[in-house]
Amino acid sequence: MIEWIHPGIVILLGAFLLPLLRNRKAKQAYFVLLPIAGLTILILTSMGVFGIIPPYPDALHKWCIPFLQYTLELGRIDKLSIIFAYVYVVIGLAMNIFALRGKKDWEHVSALIHIGSSVSAIFAGDLFTYIFFVEIAVWSAVFLIWFRGTKTSLGSGFRYFFWHVLAGAFFLGGSIIHVQTTGSIDLALMPWGWGWDYIGYYLMMLGLLIDAGSFPVHAWLPDAYSTGAVTGVLYVTAYSTKTGIYGLIRCFPGVELLMWLGVITAVFALYMAVLENDARRLCGYHIISQDGYMIAGAGIGTYLGLNGSVSHIICHIIYSCVLLMGASTVLSVTGTCKFSETGGLYKYFRISFWLYLIGGFSISGVPLFNGFVSKSMTIEAAELIHQPLAYLMLEGATVGTFLHTAIKLPWNLWFQGRKEPPADIKIKLKEKRENTPINMLIGMSIPAFLCVFIGVYPYYPFYDMLPWPVSPFVPYTTTRVFSMVQMFIFTFLAAWFLRTLIRGTPTYTLDSDWLGRIPGNALVSFCEKPLIAFGSFLDRNILKVTYFIISCVRSPIPEMRMTPRAIGLGALAVLALFSLFLIVYI
Amino acid sequence: MKKTKNVLLRLYYIFFLGGSVVIGLFLLYSDMLHYHFSFQYIPGFFAIYGFIYCAILILGAKLLGLLLERREDYYEKRRRR
């Protein structure tokens, strides 16, 4: 048997060769070929060239490296990791084609490192390898944000970094406690309960939840996604939260807390999205909302729930990629994607608009698109465990998603009832049906095709590849299609009545990161200025008193100097007192 | 009446009509439906729920906006001070 080659490591290390190539065409070819190489390895792996992949809980163990008294496992190939790796690499390929005209070599390198390290984190079989690759992914993501080159992107890159380093520290701390108590470093099911004994697992879960963008630690996400590099940030949107949810599925399936956190996340993000003016921030809130479904699926913990979570991650990566690409095409050509500055662009972006709309229908869960076949799994799982509240909230969140991504965003970005865009944008556009470069359209078409294909025919290869058997679940039932169509129609009606309220207004909506950015900042400046001033004031005065005492001891004032006369007087006084004492008591 | 030129509106018009036909067809066969909770059997439950949810979402968010919406350069201004 041939030895397995790690596709993540191939992409990760291959990235560094890109700047060495001289010719621009060669660079572009290499940029596209590297994910294709990864994809080829994955196809060979699932064909069984490196060994047959066993049914789910068992795995093929490759690339095991002895380290101290442990064994690090870089290649745990099971049905859960391989499906993630597939979608990561395929979407990486689509995004590479989308970003092909980028001129910054190091942005491409960061992108490839991000893909490679995310795939490697997925294949990691132990905690330390997972943390190691997640941290590399964080570093490369920071650069992908900074490559926008604006002052806001610098700030949000630092904030992204801060949040993820915090998450990494929590996860590492929890892992060390776990390893100390159990001696096992496997990235596998963790114990769960309430009490001090489980403190390490709480830390691990908190770390993963920050990565996953769960409420209330989600605020880094719209901040980073809306300020990152035009094409670069797509990679961050596709991978960073999904790797965190993958960790949750591995470590904490079936924890009820996760279900409720997920449900709240799914609903809360929608309220924030209504107020958004920036297309990429709006997509960011929708990613949070969809992450809520995945977290809830992991928390429900039945086979259907976990399958729902995994399948929704797969579908979500595909359609969120289309959505953000749609916003990015407008941004890259016109320089803005704020609703208050756009509108009337349909004449100039016809094809990319229709491709975007496929993503919009998919994320809403419209029948025949891929969101429907994955989202309904989680919703059905909530029904089957008899949680009417969770069911109603998840079902309702579908409505909100439809309202924003299929009505509000396209209406505001491409129409707003205008035939021509505002004058300052119009001068940047050419008089043709499609202003988007052809590579961007090809990059968008790949995931858009997958959206429709999986939606129309989900059984093969999609459902077959899921780790747990799907069989009793059927996506297209009369009941489900009937109820979903009803909901969409009446959502549209309500949106039509309230259409004036969903227009973009040039405002910025505060989120939970306000607590860190304003009161937190105030606390830091309070510590830096008044507190330090008070400290040095105390310091000065205590020193003054001390110096006074020291100077008294060293050079006493004239009245206290030890002259012979003074000593004589003192001795006389003591003698007199002593005599008095004797007279009184004897 | 002037015909609307807006593609998105036209699309949703078709969507609306098509969806209504689907609902109408299904209503004829409504004894085929199987739900898990009793409230789902209320006729038109999903239509009412979708409508109310969407309305609450928009109106609630606008209320939330009174509390949370700021000028676009909110953080930049704060920093300069």
Mean predicted confidence (pLDDT) in A325-333: 89
In 3-state terms, what secondary structure has residue A338? strand
Task: Give CA–CA dist A376/A131, Å, rounded.
Answer: 32
CB A171 within 8 A of CB A200: no
Residue with tokens 């030129």: B5
Q: Identify the pLDDT of residue A555.
A: 64
Joined tokens for residue A524: 């830091």
Of A407, A417, A489, the CB nearest to B23: A489
Which pLDDT band holds residue A10 (cuts at 50, 70, 90)?
very high
Q: Does A271 touch chain B (CB under 8 A)?
A: yes
Return d(Cα A31, Cα A36) in angstroms, integer: 9
pLDDT tens across A430-478, in order? 877 778 888 889 999 999 999 999 999 988 888 888 988 887 888 888 8
The count of CB pairs under 8 A between chains A and B is: 159
Q: Which of A261, A263, A492, A272 is nearest to B57 (CA)?
A: A272
Does the distance separating the beta carbons of A275 and B61 come in below 8 Å?
A: yes
Contact A487 B50 (CB under 8 A): yes
CB atoms within 10 A of CB A109: 19
- Give A37-83 pLDDT, tens digit per residue: 999 999 999 888 888 888 888 888 888 889 888 889 998 998 899 99
Whole-number pLDDT of residue A559: 57
Which sign, positive or negative, has the C-alpha torsion A358, A359, A362, A366? negative
Cβ–Cβ < 8 Å for A157, A110: no
Predicted confidence (pLDDT) per residue in A94-143, tens digit:
999 999 888 888 899 999 999 999 999 999 989 999 999 999 999 999 99
Q: What is the secondary structure of A341-402 as a DSSP string?
A: T----TTTBHHHHHHHHHHHHHHHT-TTSHHHHHHHHHHHHHHHTT-HHHHHHHHHHHHHHI
- CA A502-A504-A506 angle, to 5 degrees, is 145
* Of B35, B47, B78, Cβ closest to residue A490: B47
Q: Do A479 and B72 touch (CB under 8 A)?
A: no
Q: What pLDDT does residue B30 have?
A: 66
* Contact between B64 and A275 using a beta-carbon 8 Å cutoff: yes
3-state class of A465 per DSSP?
A: helix
What residue in B sits closest to A395 (Cα-Cα)? B50
Task: Measure in Å the smallest separation between the Cα of B1 and chain A Cα atoms.
Answer: 17
Residue of B nearest to A397 (CA): B53
* Tokens, residue A10: 């191939």
List A residues 195-234 in contact with B (Cβ-Cβ < 8 A).
none
Is the pLDDT reported for residue A553 higher than 80? no
Q: Check B70 against A493: CB less than 8 A apart.
A: no
Average pLDDT over residues A413-427: 82
pLDDT band at B2 (very low <50, low <70, confident <90, very high): very low
Angle at A182 between CA A176 and CA A183, to 5 degrees: 75
Judging by beta carbons within 10 Å of its beta carbon (0-12, 13-18, 19+), is residue A362 exposed, middle or buried? buried
pLDDT in tens, B3-29: 446 777 777 778 778 777 777 776 666
Q: Kind and range of the H or E element at A77?
A: strand A70-77
Q: Which residues of A touch B43 (CB under 8 A)?
A: none
Give buried/exposed letters for A421-456 (b at 16+ CB in 10 A, else e).
bbeebeeebeeeebbbeebbbebbbbbbebbeebbe
Q: CB distance B75–A491 less than 8 Å? A: no
Tell me if chain B has a CB within 8 Å of the CB of A488: yes
Rounded to the nearest integer, the mean pLDDT of chain A is 88
What does each C-alpha distance from A362 to A144, A225, A316 come to in angstroms? Answer: 27, 20, 9
Q: How does residue A206 score in pLDDT terms, banded at 50, 70 and 90?
A: very high
Q: Are A490 and B22 within 8 A, CB to CB? A: no
- Whose structure tokens read 């030890």? A562
- Provide the strand spans (E) within B1-81: 69-71
Residue B1 has pLDDT above 80, yes or no: no
Chain segment A226-260, per-residue pLDDT in tens:
888 888 889 999 998 999 999 999 999 989 999 99
Q: Cα separation of A541 and A547, whole Å?
A: 10
The helix/strand/coil state of A62 is: strand
A53 contacts A78 by C-beta, under 8 angstroms: yes
Residue B2: its chain A contacts at CB < 8 A? none
A495 touches chain B (CB under 8 A): yes
**Cβ within 8 Å, pair B69-A505:** yes
Least confident of A72-86, A512-526, B27-41: B27-41
Shortest CA distance from B74: residue in chain A: A508
Residue of chain A minimizing CA distance to B65: A275
Percent of the residues in chain A that have a pLDDT greater than 90, as a whole number: 39
Instruction: Determine the angle formed by the axes of helices A232-251 and A105-123, rounding to 10 degrees.
Output: 10
**H/E run at residue A292:** helix A279-300
Q: Rounded distance, CA A177 to CA A198, Å?
A: 9
Structure tokens at B2: 């002037």
What residue type is A390 in one-letter code? A
Considering only CB atoms, which chain B residues are within 8 Å of A507? Answer: 65, 69-72
Residue A526 pLDDT level (bands cut at 50, 70, 90): confident
pTM metric for this prediction: 0.87
B57 and chain A: CB distance < 8 Å anywhere? yes
Q: Does the pLDDT of residue A562 top 70, yes or no? A: no
Task: Look at the block and give the residue holding tokens 């300052």.
Answer: A424
| Helix, strand, coil fractions of chain A, as percent rounded to 5 | 70, 5, 25
Residues ≥6 apart with Cβ < 8 Å to A351: A433, A434, A436, A441
Higher pLDDT, B25 or A169: A169
- The three-point CA angle A466-A471-A476 to 5° equals 95
Please write down the HEC assignment for all residues of A462-508.
HHHHCCCCCCCCCCCCHHHHHHHHHHHHHHHHHHHHCHHHHCCCCEE
Contacting residues of A for B14, CB less than 8 Å apart: none
Q: How far apart, in whole angstroms, are the C-alpha atoms of residue A509 and residue A487? A: 28
Token duo for residue A55: 């049914």
Q: Which of residues 27-46 of B touch A (CB under 8 A)?
A: 29, 32-37, 39-40, 44-46
Residue A553 in contact with partner chain B when CB distance is under 8 A = no
The kind and range of the H/E element at A532 are: helix A532-554
